[in-house]
Structure 1
Amino acid sequence: MTGRETEGKDRTALVTGASSGFGLLIALELARRGFLVSAGMRDLARGGELMAAARQAGIEPRIVPVRLDVTDASSIEAAADDIPARYGGRLDVLVNNAGMAVGGFIEEVPMEAWRAQFETNFFGLVAVTRAFLPIMRRQGGGRIIQIGSVSGLMGFPGFGPYSSSKFAVEGFSESLRHEAAKYGVQVALVEPGSFRTPIWSKGLAGMHAEPESPYREELDALLAYTKRTAANAPDPQAVADLVGRLAERRKLTRLRYPVGRGAGMLRLGSALLPWRWIEAAVGRALKE
């Protein structure tokens, strides 16, 4: 991307899940940095907010909304044909951001909801990576930036499906980084903490719970804690800024990049602290 093969050419990027949240901000940030951005989204009718922001920032010509449903093989195949063709057969940066959150206590989340969680957050990410990795391999370079989560470092009560999907992204990204390095393709895993994005409000609105749930007390405590956290969460632009820097950095010396309040400490704590301490801390947080 900084080598001879891209000299004199516009750098290109694909961002999945770009109609809102992190994806929208990342698409705008990459365009500000001079990338030609394909903004992937399931429904092109939802691209109005992105394009209005791009117009206001004077970068509208650098962003093209593209229909891309990460759970639909034909949609991915069409995007893998159309996007590189638009830019002379190249793709320099892939940002796998598309995601959703399924909430509820494990006993009460139906299996179809578990499968839907993995279809978007994990299998969709794998499918998009597999579609675009050959392009980067053949061109001799590129980078793949995965939007993971601190929930992929530690499982939290009430978000078992989401945490499980993000743990899967962690393992996949480790394997991918090893396999792709030989071909000049660099892989980074961004691990955001809590930020002000729609994913949590959508997850809370669709929380799975039985009418006479035995977990009602725990669920109420979880909802109260999550609402408090969301109210004080920082600006998600910090994640977009980090992705922008990673997209331009000459070499990604690390795989993992925690971002957000307490994200780095959580990564360190999950690796070093005894489990009983972690368990006690989570329990105290839900009682406050």
Structure 2
Amino acid sequence: MSKVAVITGASSGFGLLTTIKLAEEGYDVLATMRNLDKAKVFPSLVKDQNVLNRIEPFYVDVSDEESIQNLKVKLNAFPHVHLLVNNAGYALGGFSEEIKLEDYRKQFDTNVFGAINVTQAILPIMRRQQFGTIINVSSISGRVGFPGMSPYVSSKYALEGYSESLRLEVKLFGIQVALIEPGSYRTNIWSSSVEQSEAYMKEDSPYYEYTAALKSYINANEEAHGNPMEVAELISQIAAMKKIKKLRYPVGSGVKMTILFKSLLPWALWEKVVVKHVLKGKRDV
């Protein structure tokens, strides 16, 4: 019996690399994405036809109910579903005062409700078969808040809470749940976030200097961003575990240390470090 994996946001970044990695390991991968034109990337990256044949691109918009219903119908064609990787997401940047509530809702529609949508579509299958693994791709931003990133940060905090409850709920059905918490990697999610942030900003904005400082901080650290293949390999390793003992798997340079420092430092000191380091102390706080 071949193993079946469903991956959301499979056309780029972690999702793309994870799709290829799992197909190389023998999974039949339902690679879901909002733009099927982007599936053209697979033949350019995968030269082994046997591996390519195990990748099936499929249209899914995780925030659209009709699309989720189509996914449910598609899943009926598979005898089993072994793995779900909730990877679809994006990062919206900007300062809270200047971000429209509608944009906060869109961030949650994809990053949180989208993951819940797809999970609810697959859970009945995993529950009936009495096995399965769900891996939700979170972020260090689900453990540590950053200025100028509140839509993304709050969505990842919500995903963390959902995943923690979900793991406790489905454990007795033989279903395992894990969280991946990447730091900064060479994907376009951080740079695109800053670009969106700038779209909100005008020179007369009270946050204009902060935005420039935030962009400078991200650009200055780009060279230290990790290879996203590291995340794909970790997902593959967790998927292969018979017993996933931990819920959270931080990954990336400095991620574990950052989480540790936040847990140990008094808030007043932690706050001072973050503001001075990230926003360069542009104003007294």
TM over 0.5: yes
The reply to whether residue 104 of structure 1 matches residue 100 of structure 2 is: no
**Equivalent position to 1:209, from 177, 200, 223:** 200
1:169 match:
159
**Equivalent position to 1:190, from 155, 180, 185:** 180
Measured after TM superposition, the shift of residue 29 of structure 1 is 0.9
1:268 match:
260
- After superposition, the C-alpha distances for 1:141-198 in whole angstroms (9 at most, x for unaligned) are 0000000000010110000000000000010000000000000000000000000002
Structure 1 residues 93, 84: closer, same or farther in 2, change over 3 A?
farther
Measured after TM superposition, the shift of residue 63 of structure 1 is 0.5
Task: Tell me if structure 2 keeps the 8 A contact 1:12–1:91.
Answer: yes
Give the distance between the partners of 1:223 and 1:78, measured in 2 at CA.
40
Give the distance between the partners of 1:58 and 1:260, measured in 2 at CA.
31
Give the distance between the partners of 1:56 and 1:215, measured in 2 at CA.
50
Give the distance between the partners of 1:230 and 1:27, measured in 2 at CA.
25
Measured after TM superposition, the shift of residue 249 of structure 1 is 1.0
Give the distance between the partners of 1:281 and 1:18, measured in 2 at CA.
36
Whichever residue aligns with residue 249 of structure 2, its letter is: Y
Give the distance between the partners of 1:248 and 1:195, measured in 2 at CA.
23
Whichever residue aligns with residue 201 of structure 2, its letter is: E
2:277 match:
285
**Equivalent position to 2:83, from 93, 97, 106:** 93
Structure 1 residues 176, 162: closer, same or farther in 2, change over 3 A?
same
1:114 match:
104
Measured after TM superposition, the shift of residue 57 of structure 1 is 7.7
**Equivalent position to 1:145, from 128, 135, 139:** 135
Helix, strand or coil: the match of 1:278?
helix
Task: Tell me if structure 2 keeps the 8 A contact 1:19–1:47.
Answer: yes
Measured after TM superposition, the shift of residue 135 of structure 1 is 0.6
Give the distance between the partners of 1:51 and 1:68, measured in 2 at CA.
20
2:126 match:
136
TM-score, L = length of structure 2:
0.94
Give the distance between the partners of 1:194 and 1:181, measured in 2 at CA.
31
- After superposition, the C-alpha distances for 1:217-257 in whole angstroms (9 at most, x for unaligned) are 11111010011222320101000000000111111000000
Measured after TM superposition, the shift of residue 267 of structure 1 is 2.2
Task: Tell me if structure 2 keeps the 8 A contact 1:17–1:42.
Answer: yes
- After superposition, the C-alpha distances for 1:102-159 in whole angstroms (9 at most, x for unaligned) are 0000001111111110000001111111111111000000000000000010110000
- Counting only pairs closer than 5 Å after superposition, residues 5-20 of structure 1 correspond to structure 2 as 9-20=1-12
**How many matched pairs?**
278
Helix, strand or coil: the match of 1:55?
coil
2:46 match:
54
Give the distance between the partners of 2:177 and 2:8, measured in 1 at CA.
16
Gapped regions of structure 1 (runs ≥ 5): 1-8
Range with greater deviation from structure 2 (35-44 or 262-271): 262-271
Give the distance between the partners of 1:226 and 1:126, measured in 2 at CA.
30
Task: Tell me if structure 2 keeps the 8 A contact 1:14–1:94.
Answer: yes
> What's the % identity of the aligned pairs?
45
Task: Tell me if structure 2 keeps the 8 A contact 1:109–1:209.
Answer: yes
Task: Tell me if structure 2 keeps the 8 A contact 1:189–1:256.
Answer: yes
Give the distance between the partners of 1:118 and 1:57, measured in 2 at CA.
37
Structure 1 residues 223, 183: closer, same or farther in 2, change over 3 A?
same
Task: Tell me if structure 1 keeps the 8 A contact 2:132–2:174.
Answer: yes
Task: Tell me if structure 2 keeps the 8 A contact 1:20–1:198.
Answer: no
Task: Tell me if structure 2 keeps the 8 A contact 1:18–1:41.
Answer: yes
1:5 match:
none
The reply to whether residue 27 of structure 1 matches residue 19 of structure 2 is: yes
1:36 match:
28
Task: Tell me if structure 2 keeps the 8 A contact 1:84–1:91.
Answer: no
Give the distance between the partners of 1:271 and 1:51, measured in 2 at CA.
45
- After superposition, the C-alpha distances for 1:29-83 in whole angstroms (9 at most, x for unaligned) are 1111111101010111111113421235851011000111101111111112213
TM-score, L = length of structure 1:
0.93
- After superposition, the C-alpha distances for 1:76-98 in whole angstroms (9 at most, x for unaligned) are 1111221341x22x110000000
Gapped regions of structure 2 (runs ≥ 5): none
